Amino acid sequence: MKNLVILGSTGSIGTSALDVVARLGTDYKVLALSANNNTELFLKQLHAFKPRFAAVLNPESYEKIKDQIPAETRLLPPEIDSLCFMASLPTADLVVSGVVGAVGFQPLVAAIKAGKVIALANKEPMVMAGKTLMTECDRWEAAIIPVDSEPSAIFQCLSGIADEYGYHKIEDQISKVFLTASGGPFAKRQGSLSTVTPQEALNHPRWKMGKKITIDSSTLMNKGFEAIEIMNLFNLPEEKVQIVIHPQSIVHSAVEFHDGAILAQMGEPDMRVPIQYAITYPQRLPGPVKKLNLFEAAKLEFFEPDLTRFPCLDLALSAARKGGILPAVLSAADEVAVDAFLKEKIQFTDIQKLIYTVLKAAPQTSGVATINQALEADAWAREAANASLADKTYTQAII
């Protein structure tokens, strides 16, 4: 029996994770669930899976559901400490982190300090202070299995060599990692992207995801985040990570070794595959996803990304090179910018301008950001981004 804690159960990762658990049967049990605003779906999940613990971060959501939860479930207070409590439950075998943004940082730290195995879809903490978090994993004997399709693909390609050498020595064995990206909905769109609407940006050609990650995919910021994530997860320098636009999303990523061999992980673009892999790891069990038919697969295309047309990716790679607190600043500024775009307060191309404005104003630091430094940088960047939104200084940015 494997007991699961799922943080962010009403989002795209959480709902897919519960779908996987329901199909896997009685060997997998949901111990705790958390959500934020989607009370209707959350109540359905609570009554279907009857977890021992539940939490909603939104106080209004808490008031809506507090008298409707199953008798078997204890509803925790609407605060971040409740997520930290669930992430560190002694009886939890796996913590699935599917929350969005920096809100997942402290629960991830709690899970690490409890020595948990973590199925991580919430990439922002790994962007903010990934190297420090991996050091903490070593200290507390915790483990992170990436859930996003492309980092999961790299994890799978490296699993054998990591077992032999450990992630700290992987760099000595490989020459390059190919991190693939679909290119998003605007990869082939001609002309300016300034008139792009939220509805257009949310129409991803390959993946069904939450709103925030879908917008990040349309700007290619998501791929920048993933690049930083895998640099930290696998202890790789930036020059060994090559981003490749692959519109068909069949090759989820690949690893090139020093002898010239390339290992690639391929499959249909369905998030339930990497989610199930993380949940059942190290086993591989039958799943609901259609198998890839190589004879029917479309022609596979690979292109270099256009950093001029999609400067968010360039901003992310620059932050990775400079290090310090800049990745944390990048993550926070992006959250504010994407939220403003979704609320139609700024144009699509203003996302990159706002992020650039905040990064340019950020204090320069060197070395590896500590947990406290990352959290302080996150708070500073949010304040700076909101101030720039208010006085519109971001509109003067020239990238």
Query: Annotated binding residue at 148?
Result: yes
Query: Annotated binding residue at 172?
Result: no
- State the residue for tokens 């917008």: 215
Query: What is the token pair recorded at 109?
Result: 């730290």
Query: Annotated binding residue at 210?
Result: yes
Query: Annotated binding residue at 204?
Result: yes
Phi, psi of 243 (to 5 degrees): -85, 130
Query: Annotated binding residue at 82?
Result: no
Give CA–CA dist 168/294, Å, rounded: 35
Query: Annotated binding residue at 383?
Result: no
Cβ-based burial of 41 (10 A; exposed 0-12, middle 13-18, buried ≥19): middle
Query: Annotated binding residue at 222?
Result: yes
Query: Annotated binding residue at 11?
Result: yes
Query: Annotated binding residue at 393?
Result: no
> 251: Cβ–Cβ under 8 A, 6 or more apart, which residues?
180, 264, 265, 266, 300
- With CA atoms as reference, report the closest residue to 253 among 150, 121, 146, 148: 150
| Identity of the amino acid at 321 | R
The H or E element spanning position 55 is strand 53-56
Query: Annotated binding residue at 123?
Result: yes
Residue environment code for 76-91, b if the CB has 16+ CB neighbours within 10 A, otherwise e: bebebebbbbbbbbee
Query: Annotated binding residue at 10?
Result: yes
Phi, psi of 322 (to 5 degrees): -75, -30
Query: Annotated binding residue at 226?
Result: yes
- Which residues fall in the annotated binding site for NADPH? 10-13, 38, 122, 124, 210
- Which residues fall in the annotated binding site? 10-13, 38, 122-124, 148-150, 182, 204, 210, 217, 222-223, 226
- Which residues fall in the annotated binding site for 1-deoxy-D-xylulose 5-phosphate? 123, 149-150, 182, 204, 217, 222-223, 226
- Which residues fall in the annotated binding site for Mn(2+)? 148, 150, 226
